[in-house]
Structures are given as C-alpha cells and as structure tokens.
Structure 1
C-alpha cells in the first residue's frame, strides 16, 4: 500500500475538518500550510516517479482494498503519468488560490478555506480513483464545496439564480454518468477500471453508454451547446471560485474523457458519435472566441476564452481517437490536451486574478471604464502581459506547445478542421490584447489612478509564481510529454483491442 498516496488523499479531508472547527481569523494560515504540505508531498512523489514504466505497469503508488463485495467495487487508487500531472496542477494551484484570498475585505472566514480543502480532497480522489463507483462518488464530492463557495460568497444579487442552474446542470449530468457506468458494469465482472475496459458490449450498447457518460463530461467542460451555465457562474462566483472551476475542476472532464470514456466505449468513436463530438468541439472553439471578442466584462471575456480553449482540447483528443480506431495508433491529441490542460490551468487562474485586481482598483468589470493602469502599476502590467501571452500561445510560453500539438493532431485527421480550429490562436490575440489595452493602456480616470498604486506583496507572489510556470514550461515542455507518454499509449492501445 502506498502511504504517500493515502496521505495525499486524506490530508485535505482532515485539514478541512480542522479548519472548519477552528473559528479564528488565523485559520487561513492553517489552510495555506496544509495546501503547501500537499504540494511538497506531490513533488516528493514526483521525485520517485518512474517516467518510463512498462506498458503492463503504468500504475504506481497503488492502494487496493475490498469495499462492497455484493456489487464488486473496491477502494482502488493509483497514479500514472496522467494522474501525476493533474495532481501537480491541483496541488500547485490550491495554495495560490488560498493565498489570493488573503487580501479580501471583509476577510473570508474559516468555512471558506475549509471548503477549498474539501474540494481538493474530491479532486485528488477523482484523479486517482481506479473504480467506477468510487470515481463517481468523488466526482460528486467536488460539486458540493464549489456550489457552496459560489452560492455563499458569490457577487451581486444573481448568485442564487446562477448557482442553482450550475448545480442542476452538473448534478443531472453526473446522474447520467452514473447510469452509464452502471450499464457498463452490468456487462462486466466488476466496477474496476480494467474490468470496465473489458466489458462485453455490442456497438449499439457502447453507443448508449458513450452518450450517457459523455453528457456529464460535456457539461463539466463545458463544450457547445452545454455551456449556458458557464459564463454566469464564472462571472458571479468569487474570484477563488472562478479559479477553482476553470483552473482545476473542468480538467476533471478532460481526464474523464481519456481515462474512462474512450477506453470503455471506443466503438462509437469510429461512427457518427465521434464525428458529432468533434464538430461540437470545433463549433465551441469559434463560438467562444467570437463572443469573447465582443465582451466588455473582464470575467466574461475569460469565461468565453476558456470555452474556446477547451473546445480545442476535446477536438484534438477526438481526432486522435478516430484515427486510432481506424487502425493508426496516435496519441498526439492526448499529449496536446494534457500539456494544454496544465498550461490552461495556470493561465486561466492568472487571468481571473488579474481581473480581480482590476476590479478592486477600478470598482468595475467593464473594461471600457478602465485604462492607464500600466503607468502607476508597472509590475502588475509586466506580470499580466506574460500570463496573457501564455494564453495567446506565444512561442516559448506554456500555451504554445499544447496548442501546436493539438492543431497538428486535428491536421492529421482533417486539414479543413485544423484550419478552423487554428483560428483560436488569432481570435485569442484579438480579445486578450483588447482586454489588456483597454485596462492597462491609454488614458484612464486620473482620480482613480492617482489614488491607486502597484500590486501588493500577496498579489505579486501569486502572479509571479504563475509567471514562473508560464515561462519554464514554455521553454521546457518535454518533462510533461515524458510523464504522460506511457499512460496515453496504454489508453489508446486499449481502444484498439
């Protein structure tokens, strides 16, 4: 049994209970300390990680105990390259998200920080579960804290309306996934991941299961046309809620597509089902980007930008999956999606934090009412620009290599689809440079500019930490590719069997 993985899984659960119980302003430091311990544990796990395991032993740090024999389900956890990458993303971003709330006035209470740790517990469970029922339970666990964070600390009077819609959308989607997993389980030996991979299903039965499970992932991502909950939820949630949703939570669905959906139900990918998903993803790329261009609300620009970038990830995955099912094993789309998953998590958290800083300085999210901030906040302007360049996918930033690989994967499948998908790089430059120009350049309200200054020490620490990842991963992306290579080969190979 891996005590390291067990500690990594249970520490945020125990930590959240301690933070909930400690009704003291200093509870935020306890939450931050626990989050940093989680990060150090993950890097320690990484230091002992085998980057080139054999195909038969891609799993490391396994935990496996009987749970409920009458339905053949187990407490089975483990880590491979794909899980490792998402554990790193989760444990790197969580302390930064907690730290970003330290300057909030009035300050957030212990319940807020306890919910963030509880969500981290659910996320780690999702990324390490190797049992279908266990995966579903952790998937639902993540919904509760983010719903409470958005509903209690959300902005403006619309929070009840948007949190209710968000909850209904995601909960219903999750129920569809549960039905799909149970359907597959009835034709397999157990809920174990490997048994679900080997379920005895006809093409028609796989198609039914495919759409039930896919619906949950489509809502969580979201992709067009299941995205109507996203702009309002991202906009009116507290900044830390928007960071959690976009930076980590939507990555659950990218992970789910690769770990669960494609290997369990590969046959429909070769038919109309795979084509439909690919087309929806490409529509989402263009749709999200075009709407982002005409937005004036800073958080809505980022929300629609996220919709566009997620569409590219899904399109790349599906393009490689279709080619694989046609007999040409290729993991290019999976590689690009996972590299971009990490890069997008870093970049979108940075953008939402920049939007929060702008809101605090200008008292509005309308970028038309901003301007000139670069003159009085040069450190902020530099850090904001670097994060923005990562989101645009400028070469030598973290966003470039993932988008390049994804477009290459789509190009291998269909040139026209790649041309349309590639417009995301052009459109993102348009709406993000417009965002920066309106808020940071030009002439702003002199009364506002004269009463404000550069960013605080906390704000600088958070943004500078994110910038380090933008630059380092842009220059040295190969470790991520090495990390996920064996996992993706195993997953895509299993689709062909």
Structure 2
C-alpha cells in the first residue's frame, strides 16, 4: 500500500472472499432448521469450504515482489462523500484473509455435534462474521474499513450472548461496549483525515498527507483507543477473559485466532503510516505497554484456575509480542510480529479447541476437576502436548518462529528490551506446562474423568489439521515470510521518512 500504483485484477476474488461466506450465512439462516440439523450443518460446511476455496487464488496469484495493492476492486459507492467500494491486499493483509477463511471451516466442524439449539443461527453468525472480518483486511477505503470493523461486533455479540455460559449477557455487553466506545474516536479521526486530504477516504491518500506533529499525536491516540482495545493491550484487556470464559468454543477460537488481529492490523494499516512521527515519538509508551503485557500478564496467566482464563491471559501476553514488534521499527521485529499474529491464530485456536473437547465431556473448565486425562484420552493428550508446547514457544512449532524473531528484533533495537522480552519464554513455559501437568498427568482424582471417551473421528481430524498447520509453519516458515518481505520494507521506509 506504500507504492503509488496498484495491481488490478480482472476477476473480483476479494468480493467473493467477502460475500460468499455472508451469502452462505444468510442461506443457512433462511433454509436451516433444528429439526433438520444435519442438513443445516452440511450447508454451513459447504459454505465455509467454498469461502476458503475462493481465497486460494489470492495466494496462488499473488506477486510477492511488489508492495502494491493487488486484486484491486474500485467502484464509486457514496459519491457525495467520496466513499468507494475499494478493495485490495498486499503482503501484510493477504495471510489474514486466508487465515480467516481457514478458521471458519474449523469452527463449523467444531460445533457440529456440540450445538443442538438454534443450529442455523449459530452457523450463520460465524459465516457472516467471517465475511465481515475478511472485509476489514481487504478494505482500501477508510469508511469501508470502519463499517466492516464495527459490523464484526454484531455477530460476535450474538454468539457470546446466545450460546455463551451463565454470565454470557454480562460478557457480551462488556465486549460490545469496550470495543464500540474505543472505536468512536477512530471515526472522528477518519473524518478529520477526510477533511485534510481534500475529501478522500482512500487509505493510500491518507498515508501521503503531511501532518504536523500535534495532529499526528491526536490521530495516533484516537486510533489507539480502538486498536489497543481490540488487540487487546494492557490495561484495556479486561473484557477478553470474560468474553473467552463465557463464549462457546467456536466463539473463543474466532476471538483469539482472528478478531484480536483486527486491532493489530489497524496499527499497521493506519497508525504507523498515517502518523509516522507520532509513532516514533510514542514508541516508548507503546513498548512499555507491550512489555507489561508480555511479562505481567504472563505471570497473571500462571495463577489462573480456569483453563479458558489461562489461555485468554496468555493471548494478551502473546499479542504483547506483536505490538512490541511493530514499534521497534526494524524489519526483523515487524516480520516477527506478523508471524506471531498468524501463529497465534493457529496455536490459541487449537488450545481453545482442546479446552472445548474437555468441556464437552465434563462440563467444567476448572483445572482442579481434571488430572490423569492421559490414562483415558491418550490421542487427545498427544495433541494437547503439542499445542501446549507451541504455546510455550517450543522450537519446531509456529509459536517459536514469531516470538524468537521479535526477540531478535528487540535485541537489535535495544539489548535490555530484548532481554525483558525473552523472559516471556520462561513465563510461557511455566503456565503452559503447569496447565498440561495438572490436566493430563498425575493420578485420576475425579471419577468422572475415568468415563471420558477419547477423540471422535471428527475431533481427531480437526486436531490433526491444526497440528499440521502449527508444525508446518514452525518447520518451514518461508512461504509465510516471503509474501510479506517487500510490503514490510515499504512500510518501514515510509514510516522512517518524517512528515514534518
């Protein structure tokens, strides 16, 4: 997006990526009924698979040698205010489009037997949410981005509020209010940018507007309110544990794997390139908040008694790596941060799937209710060990790639910041292994554990697919990194040039 030219496409692949899942979701809502639940689930799975298939040409046809937007679609929409239906992806956004479509298939399969009431509404909400999230990553128009960004709140609010736990109404309201209130200042910033750019909502045009330092700082802080809540950064992270604990398994997977990335992506697409001088000025502030998340929230995760809360807090710590990588302003750190975003989608999603498997059998998330699970569920524990190791950053897994690269970038920036960041490898191992030990090993202290069946064929397939993704990215990260190199370099070059 830093370059002046854009690579147009003769076929609307991005529109298909957005609207195929939305249309499929509406179709499921229209045709699906609880009295024919298998038909409803099958229709949802077909829609999810079709949604993923239309994203594959985005990868196969992507040119990694340019930082220009590719697969561009540009159609006038609200001409009075110069709002355009403007789509495009670059090396930064491409993988998140594919990740969103991939995770949607996993979520549909994960809820196949678990969700028995309002099946059509459940599946339809996730499909529509998938299309809206892809719209966030593909939008090249500021107002279009804002519409997609805010619209994602509605399906997730419904998912938590309808299919969540006992405190689901409280959690869904907290989620909605935190994220909505944070976004209102962003709308003010967008309107200001529209005004100073000569009446344009084109994001690329905003990147090229030269602003004095004071307006840059105000814009940065306005955008920070929305993106920091969404990441979420400390101290505006408190909505996340509640949302995760009350959300159904599929809701937790999508929250962790995709929705947290919307805020991090916003920093890359808006905060850094629009307010580069403010980004440098406030980098110490951002690095400090990131280190607090990495270190302090990692310690908070260790003492959790609820499995979902533990993984939720670990997500805050892992996303601290992401924001840290952005604001140390070197290619190693930024590429590591983007890799961490992708890896976190696989690893945290897999961890919540594992917790969902246990919850479906015992209807408890309390760690103390388990123990000795390996004796009755050896296949499950095999996957649980792998994902826990990845969550701890074990070499050979995707969890290691992002964290290690960010640490190396941090060392290049400042040795002591790199050293503080590296302490997360200790806390990460602590809470991951402590969770694994108490749940999977030791004597069986709860008789209900003895009757827990091992993975079904459907569950084994889901776990195997996630395991392949975690291991493939950990062993051979090149396909992930080569796509983003040029776009990251272009962004850093843009940010390094003062607008003053």
Residue of structure 1 aligned with 2:110, choices 100, 110, 128: 100
Pairing 1:466-485 to 2, within 5 Å after superposition: 466-485=466-485
Q: Which residue of 2 aligns with 1:47?
A: 60
Report the RMSD for the aligned CA atoms in angstroms.
Answer: 1.3
Q: Which residue of 1 aligns with 2:315?
A: 306
Q: Which residue of 2 aligns with 1:493?
A: 493
How many angstroms does 1:103 deviate by?
Answer: 2.0
Q: Which residue of 1 aligns with 2:273?
A: 263
Task: Describe the shift of the 1:67–1:161 C-alpha distance in structure 2 as closer, same or farther (beyond 3 A).
Answer: same
Residue of structure 2 aligned with 1:282, choices 283, 288, 291: 291
Contact 1:166 1:233 in 2 (8 A): yes
- Give CA deviations for 1:82-135 in whole Å, capped at 9, x if unaligned: 221101111111100110001215355101111101101111100000011110
How many angstroms does 1:70 deviate by?
Answer: 2.2
Contact 1:289 1:308 in 2 (8 A): yes
Q: Which residue of 1 aligns with 2:367?
A: 367
Moved more, 234-243 or 100-109: 100-109
Q: Is 2:45 the partner of 1:32?
A: yes
Distance 2:303 2:452 in 1: 28
Contact 2:197 2:205 in 1 (8 A): yes
How many angstroms does 1:445 deviate by?
Answer: 3.6
Q: Secondary structure at the match of 2:217?
A: helix
Contact 1:181 1:213 in 2 (8 A): no
Distance 1:90 1:75 in 2: 21
How many angstroms does 1:274 deviate by?
Answer: 1.8
- Give CA deviations for 1:407-457 in whole Å, capped at 9, x if unaligned: 111112221111111111111111111111111101114632332221111
Distance 2:334 2:104 in 1: 25
Moved more, 191-200 or 447-456: 447-456
Contact 1:103 1:458 in 2 (8 A): no
Contact 1:185 1:199 in 2 (8 A): no
Pairing 1:332-343 to 2, within 5 Å after superposition: 332-343=332-343
Residue of structure 1 aligned with 2:169, choices 160, 164, 175: 160
Q: Which residue of 2 aligns with 1:17?
A: 26
Residue of structure 2 aligned with 1:110, choices 111, 120, 126: 120
Q: Secondary structure at the match of 1:250?
A: helix
Corresponding pairs, count: 483
Task: Describe the shift of the 1:479–1:225 C-alpha distance in structure 2 as closer, same or farther (beyond 3 A).
Answer: same
Q: Which residue of 2 aligns with 1:8?
A: 17
**TM-score (norm: length of structure 1):** 0.95
How many angstroms does 1:69 deviate by?
Answer: 2.5
Distance 2:230 2:184 in 1: 13
Distance 2:303 2:61 in 1: 48
Q: Secondary structure at the match of 1:64?
A: strand
Q: Which runs of 5+ in 2 are unaligned?
A: 1-9
Contact 2:370 2:449 in 1 (8 A): no
- Give CA deviations for 1:271-325 in whole Å, capped at 9, x if unaligned: 2x221111011111112110110011000000000010001110111112xxxxx
Q: Which runs of 5+ in 1 are unaligned?
A: 321-329
Contact 1:379 1:455 in 2 (8 A): yes
How many angstroms does 1:45 deviate by?
Answer: 2.5
Contact 1:188 1:200 in 2 (8 A): no
Distance 1:173 1:485 in 2: 31
Moved more, 21-30 or 146-155: 21-30
Q: Secondary structure at the match of 2:328?
A: helix
Q: Secondary structure at the match of 1:65?
A: strand
How many angstroms does 1:188 deviate by?
Answer: 0.7
Distance 1:314 1:298 in 2: 25
Q: Which residue of 1 aligns with 2:382?
A: 382
Contact 1:151 1:163 in 2 (8 A): yes
Q: Is 2:193 the partner of 1:184?
A: yes
Residue of structure 1 aligned with 2:326, choices 303, 314, 317: 317
Q: Is 2:163 the partner of 1:149?
A: no
How many angstroms does 1:176 deviate by?
Answer: 1.4
Q: Which residue of 1 aligns with 2:431?
A: 431
Residue of structure 1 aligned with 2:100, choices 90, 93, 99: 90
Distance 2:42 2:58 in 1: 24
Q: Is 2:70 the partner of 1:60?
A: yes
Residue of structure 2 aligned with 1:136, choices 138, 143, 146: 146
**TM-score (norm: length of structure 2):** 0.94
Distance 1:350 1:131 in 2: 33
Q: Which residue of 1 aligns with 2:203?
A: 193
Contact 2:370 2:446 in 1 (8 A): no
Q: Which residue of 2 aligns with 1:236?
A: 246
Q: Which residue of 2 aligns with 1:450?
A: 450
Task: Describe the shift of the 1:369–1:135 C-alpha distance in structure 2 as closer, same or farther (beyond 3 A).
Answer: same
Q: Which residue of 2 aligns with 1:325?
A: none
Q: Which residue of 2 aligns with 1:391?
A: 391
